[in-house]
Amino acid sequence: MDRKSPLTLKRIFSLWLPLAGSWFLMGVETPMLTAFVARMAAPEITLASWGSLIYPISLAIEGPIIMLLTASTALVKDRLAYQTLFRYMLIMSLVLSVLHLLVAFTPLYYGLAEGILRVPDALIEPGRIGLQIMTPWTFMIAWRRLNQGTMIKYGNSKAVAVGTAVRLTSLVTILTIGYGFTDFSGVVVGACAVAISVTVEALYAHTAVQPIIHNRLPKSSDAPPITRQSFTRFYLPLAMTPLMTLLIHPAGAAGMSRMPEALSSLAAWPVVYGLVFLTRGMGFAFNEVVVSLAEVPEGKTQLFRFAKILALSTMGLLALIAFTPLGGFWFKYVTGISPELTRMASTTIMFAILMPGYQVYQSWYGGLLVHHHETKGISEAVMIYVGVALLGLWAGSVWATMPGIYWAINAFVIAGLCQTFFLRYRYRQISI
């Protein structure tokens, strides 16, 4: 990739598109999972278990390693840097995998599910089984994200999209086999499909990054070496960001469990979240594009233009789904949920229209802060998001008279807007 010529919208689009495709395919994972398990036995129990216990707890545990993608994109400038990050990845992912084992296989699980989250009793055992099957998740996510960041850094974002396609193909294959040829529950089939497919993707990413490591990465460079102190100072605020954000998922489940129509809200939540994720993924993909291209001539000007176009496009797409029959078609015929859950999910989407738009700007301002190695502002913004969201969920548990999912989505939207404006404030401080 030529990093000296002025940046153009076409160049931004060419780097962003494969990453957006990758995020889109990842976003399809949840609706695909829903479409299969909604047609298996006890779909409401399975969906509620997945949305309130298995997925949010797995995400919360893996939280600290999610930003390895951003760290790798920003820091891998030679083989020594890659090897250092690989070593840190191993340590973090093994520690977090042990934590996952402790939660899934010891009485800690019951204390969390029954005592803290207080989900309905019918979800406890299915959730425990699914969480146990998801044990490989954290290590595989860490491994692939480190390698994906290196591929993005050196202009091979297409391989990231191919890896996600491999993951989705594996997911559909396992779901089809489980649905058509076994008597396993939807929880077992779904958790096995997700755990195995992410493992396959991690193996692909390891293979795809080898030509870059051996042929394009210099043995050394004039960049300062990555030390434990410098990595901690750079990465800790980044690690706090998804960790605090993902802790909101079980908090959201706990909040909805204490609001009206708890079981229906918990069952509809993964379906709604999956659709919103599809549109927000377009903005998630923009973060690494900003980190990679901000230093290119005309970079910030053209990236900001692209951000405005992307934000308007993604909000328009979600609005089209929300206010036309497309939403009902998606929920009823694609995901296969019941008419009652379809009505609830279709209404909830209307409240979420701003989400993909502010996600683009979070990636814009967050990517610029990473570019300037000012990552502290990112974690501060997330603290604001978490604080506002928790306050909103608590208020809902006390005063909500509407279905819990309606209250929860509005709490998340308001919190996300607060996070976005704080990121803007922090960036303006360093750009003056």
Mean pLDDT of the 55-78 span: 86
Q: What pLDDT score was predicted for residue 246?
A: 63
Residue 220's CB: how many other CB atoms inside 10 A?
A: 12
Q: What pLDDT score was predicted for residue 93?
A: 94
Is the per-residue pLDDT at 91 higher than 70? yes
Mean pLDDT of the 51-66 span: 85
Helix/strand/coil for 338 = coil
CB 190 within 8 Å of CB 36: yes
User: pLDDT by residue (tens digit) across 391-408?
Assistant: 999 999 999 889 999 999
Q: What pLDDT score was predicted for residue 414?
A: 96
User: Cβ contacts of residue 414 below 8 Å, gap of 6+?
Assistant: 388, 392
Mean pLDDT of the 167-186 span: 89
CB 88 within 8 Å of CB 169: no
User: pLDDT by residue (tens digit) across 308-332?
Assistant: 999 999 999 999 999 999 988 888 8
Mean pLDDT of the 50-75 span: 85
Environment class of 325 (CB within 10 Å of its CB; exposed 0-12, middle 13-18, buried 19+):
exposed
CB 223 within 8 Å of CB 78: yes
User: pLDDT by residue (tens digit) across 4-23?
Assistant: 667 888 888 988 988 888 77
Q: What pLDDT score was predicted for residue 136?
A: 94
Q: What pLDDT score was predicted for residue 420?
A: 96
- Helix %, strand %, coil % of the chain (to 5): 85, 0, 15
* Chain Cα centroid distance, residue 58: 12
CB 362 within 8 Å of CB 311: no
Residue 87's CB: how many other CB atoms inside 10 A?
A: 11
CA-CA distance, 256 to 357, in Å (whole number)?
25
Place 249 in a pLDDT band, splitting at 50, 70 and 90.
low
Place 2 in a pLDDT band, splitting at 50, 70 and 90.
low
Q: What pLDDT score was predicted for residue 315?
A: 96
CA-CA distance, 361 to 304, in Å (whole number)?
9
Domain ranges of the chain: 9-431
Count, residues in the chain: 432
User: pLDDT by residue (tens digit) across 141-168?
Assistant: 999 999 998 998 887 878 888 998 899 8
How far, in Å, are 14, 71, 241, 426 from residue 431 at the CA level?
Answer: 27, 22, 22, 9
CA-CA distance, 374 to 25, in Å (whole number)?
31
Percent of the chain with pLDDT over 90: 43
Mean pLDDT of the chain: 88
User: Cβ contacts of residue 293 below 8 Å, gap of 6+?
Assistant: 7, 11, 12, 15, 299, 303
CB 212 within 8 Å of CB 155: no
Percent of the chain with pLDDT over 70: 96
DSSP one-letter code for 7: P
Structure tokens at 421: 């404006």
Encode 20-57: b = buried (16+ Cβ within 10 Å), e = exposed.
Answer: bbbbbbbbbbbbbbbbbbbebeebbbbbbbbbbbbbbb
Its pTM stands at: 0.74
* Chain Cα centroid distance, residue 56: 11
CB 203 within 8 Å of CB 162: no
Give the residue with greater pLDDT, 365 vs 19: 365
Place 3 in a pLDDT band, splitting at 50, 70 and 90.
low
Is the per-residue pLDDT at 209 higher than 80? yes
Place 245 in a pLDDT band, splitting at 50, 70 and 90.
low
CA-CA distance, 68 to 96, in Å (whole number)?
14
Query: What is the crossing angle of helices 355-371 and 299-322, to 10°?
Result: 160
Q: What pLDDT score was predicted for residue 98?
A: 96
The phi-psi region of residue 155 (left if phi > 0; otherwise alpha if psi is between -120 and 50; otherwise beta) is: left
Q: What pLDDT score was predicted for residue 117?
A: 81
Q: What pLDDT score was predicted for residue 108?
A: 93
Least confident of 7-21, 25-39, 128-142, 375-389: 25-39
Give the residue with greater pLDDT, 363 vs 245: 363
Is the per-residue pLDDT at 378 higher than 90? no
Q: What pLDDT score was predicted for residue 432?
A: 60
